[in-house]
Structure 1
């Protein structure tokens, strides 16, 4: 019958009630047909075989006593001996108070205590372990600032956040500073049309000095606290300087001429080393955390790993030898990021014809993983507090994508920019990421959460005096 039908009266429904399920505890005594009725009426229906009780649940001693006890008249009660009366009293106390039904179903089978005990123990142990709460990743930018005249050029590097919590951004011919502690904005320098636009900016490790690369091939060194030009590096490159990277007192510059030059800013003859390996513009430069290896990417689709000790040993011979020359990418390699928790792990990203993020073992030169992101990879950043990698992209979504390492599973996609996200940089505490896009906006994302133990930024002693001689070096 359809359980949802309303055409049957309640009386009829009670007659056709669903049968009780077998082996379940019932609410009333089971139906037992009378054998004597069937024997007296030969036309009566037979409802089943004889009922055979389960004697394992009977109290046989009590049954025997009740069946064999002689009937006593009221007059014979007084003639019973004291010993018999005591026997009957003890028998009633021990047996009658604990007797069970003579005809009864067997009790329910015992629960499988061993299985249930194990399950309860496992559940208790899981509940006892403190579970780490999943970090909330905001899907929208925490703050958005205007960035008019931002040059829409994939090969430049126009954004950097220094260790003193001051962010620098180049907009056209001007470099602006944004103070992360109070949100104030100031102008550092505006270069003339002959030297502009600004093509790269990079903070020194001490967070008190900044390098500015120009379209005219000049590199300037500034002191933002006094808005004073400390030094101008000339004759390093033949055309624009689109990439900069610091390694203690060494400022490494990469130009459109394909050259990579190490400049010691403490001495007059600053160009101390030149790496020849790229045939086109060098658009990506990153030193490893140890300062022993330099990664460089170029518009020739090449990725080079340079070793400081190897370059020094062969420099005297008039040639430069790279540690690894990697040609797996199919487009320009600009996005580079050294892993903060594994010194020999490097992430690189390819341009529009490649769209891949590749992970490298820089000791062996082996490609550990390659992920097709589906769009141009413009920048890469590692999370300093978790095993995560953040990438920024161009057409079609213009998004930031957070990846879980080493599985490279997408954790989140942050959208808001309407044009390709060309540049990314990270706050000193490792929590906030700033992104600048061709839509002329600068957005701040709280994507990396809050560090468990804030670590104070340490500045090496050699950094403090790197510009002491700038007053007489020009």
Structure 2
């Protein structure tokens, strides 16, 4: 008897704490018909958004923060998005991961059963792939490090790999999960998948028998996955309110390094610090509202900050000691924090519904945020630094594998 699957079937009815509504097959069929009639709206420029209501003083970006004798001049942080695109039929589901920005400066966004690509260099839009209603909707997207190949998680438990340059199908990963795949994370040639069944699977995309190992630690849906920059540690968050740290150097690779139980709601938002080794930020759902900081070497919680609302996504500034968080009710805002003091530097309020997804440009300074039916672009992290060319290794030997 498969006890993992039996437990999943018994508990799946309780999975949806962070969402107020669901989508069904009939609804998605109607959605597909509507999208066929209105594809001109997809990733089209909107009119310049109205200025946000000033709930904070105009000099909010200059609130007290850590200062030193040699501190740099305070940079200007625009309070409105520099660009806004239409993103109709973006699924309002906290547990999915539907937005990613690749190293080739192309954004992938899943809208119902279709993955669209928006080139941030020339502002062109293209359709990568549309799936049959029986397979979709798309539940996760993630670019490989080369910026040309993309992984797409589906509601039917499959993961497909595509070449975005040629729009060529490469292969399907089957047998990893028994239900939808809501989270994906790349570690060179390893694609890690997280499912509603609570399983986390490492897949070597270069070989036919792709399943390398399986992590079992979550009792409910895995909604957050992030590999550290070194590729040695994996953070996973779930709808069971658990955060796990896994170490791929462990002699028992299927056993977690740390099981962290401090959050009191689903853990979706995860971000590894780019300037401090073994530092992870995590964010909790509506009943938790906290951003927590962890030493993943020891498992110690270093700090916890109550943000006042559901934490949907987290991004570190690559060039400054800052953290950006996106939120749900009541303000649906993006908040920029100074680290480690966690003083608020700025509040960005351009969305009218919860900001479920954020993605960072390759140069590190622009952030895309998706909420409702809009995709906003914010120049929040300052001037770019030199961008290094992306490696091409992971897919050097992958053509078409079925």
Report the TM-score when normalising by structure 1: 0.69
DSSP 3-state at the match of 1:463: helix
For residues 174 and 267 of structure 1, what CA distance do their matches in structure 2 show?
Answer: 27
2:374 counterpart of 1:407:
no
Aligned position for 1:441: 374
Separation in 1, partners of 2:398, 2:148: 15
Deviations 1:156-212 (A, max 9, x none): 000000000000000000100000111110000110000010000000011110000
Of 145, 159, 173, the residue aligned with 1:233 is: 173
Aligned equivalents of 2:257 and 2:164: distance in 1? 37
* 2:121 aligned residue (181, 193, 204): 181
CA distance in 1, matches of 2:232, 2:269: 20
CA gap 1:131/1:150 in 2 versus in 1, 3 angstroms: closer
RMSD: 1.1
> What is the alpha-carbon distance in structure 1 between the residues aligned to residue 382 and residue 187 of structure 2?
28
Structure 2 residue 214 is matched with structure 1 residue 274? yes
Q: Deviations over 1:373-409 (max 9, x none)?
A: 0000000000001000000000000000000000000
1:3-30 residue CA offsets vs partner (Å, 9 max, x unmatched) = xxxxxxxxxxxxxxxxxxxxxxxxxxxx
Pick one of 236, 244, 269 that aligns with 1:304.
Answer: 244
Show the counterpart of 1:454.
386
Cα displacement (A) at 1:130? 7.4
- The alpha-carbon distance between structure 1 residues 264 and 157, as it changes in their structure 2 partners (threshold 3 A), is same
Higher Rg of the two aligned structures: 1
CA distance in 1, matches of 2:70, 2:292: 35
Q: Distance in 1 between matches of 2:196 and 2:123?
A: 35
**3-state SS of paired residue (1:398):** coil
Following TM superposition, by how much is the alpha carbon of 1:215 offset from its aligned partner in structure 2, in angstroms? 0.3
Q: Which has the higher contact order (CA 8 A, sep 6+)?
A: 2
Deviations 1:36-80 (A, max 9, x none): xxxxxxxxxxxxxxxxxxxxxxxxxxxxxxxxxxxxxxxxxxxxx
> SS at 1:314's partner residue?
coil
Q: Distance in 2 between matches of 1:198 and 1:131?
A: 45
For the pair 1:383 / 2:287, whether they are aligned, the reply is no
Query: Within 1, Cα distance between the matches of 2:264 and 2:70?
Result: 46
Alignment pair present for 1:427 and 2:361: yes
2:12 — aligned with what?
none
Question: What is the rounded CA distance, in whole Å, between the counterparts of 2:79 and 2:368 in structure 1?
Answer: 14
What is the CA–CA distance in structure 2 between the aligned matches of 1:226 and 1:463, rounded to whole Å? 17
Instruction: Kindly indicate whether the alpha-carbon contact (under 8 Å) linking 2:107 and 2:118 is maintained by their aligned counterparts in 1.
Output: yes
Deviation at 1:138, TM superposition (A): 0.4
Deviations 1:427-465 (A, max 9, x none): 00000000001x2100000000103x4232341x63251
Distance 1:372 1:237, change over 3 A: same
Which residue pairs with 1:56 in the alignment?
none
CA distance in 2, matches of 1:358, 1:132: 27
Report the alpha carbon displacement of residue 217 of structure 1 after superposing the two structures with TM.
0.4
* 1:146 Cα deviation after fit: 0.6
Whether 1:314 aligns to 2:252 is: yes
User: Aligned to 1:424, what secondary structure does the other structure show?
Assistant: strand
- Residue 234 of structure 1: CA displacement? 1.1
Give the secondary structure class of the aligned counterpart of 2:252: helix
Q: How does 1:204-243 map to 2 (within 5 A)?
A: 204-243=144-183
Q: Distance in 2 between matches of 1:130 and 1:395?
A: 39
| CA displacement 1:94-143 (0-9 Å, x = unmatched) | xxxxxxxxxxxxxxxxxxxxxxxxxxxxxxxxxxx876221100000011
1:445 and 1:469 mapped to 2: Cα distance? 36
Deviation for aligned residue 1:343: 1.7
Which runs of structure 2 are paired with 1:271-420 in the superposition (5 Å)? 271-310=211-250, 313-314=251-252, 320-420=254-354
Equivalenced residues, count: 334
Equivalents in 2 of 1:401, 1:248: separation in Å? 31
Alignment gaps of 5+ in structure 1: 1-128
What's the CA shift for 1:259? 0.2
Tell me the SS of whatever aligns to 1:275: strand
Who is 2:57 aligned against? Answer: none
1: CA distance, partners of 2:390 / 2:85: 30
Equivalent-residue separation in structure 1 for 2:255 and 2:151 (angstroms): 27
Q: C-alpha distance in 2, partners of 1:418/1:354?
A: 22
- SS class of match (1:416): coil
Tell me, in whole angstroms, the C-alpha distance in 2 between the residues paired with 1:130 and 1:324.
Answer: 39
SS in structure 1 at match of 2:160: strand
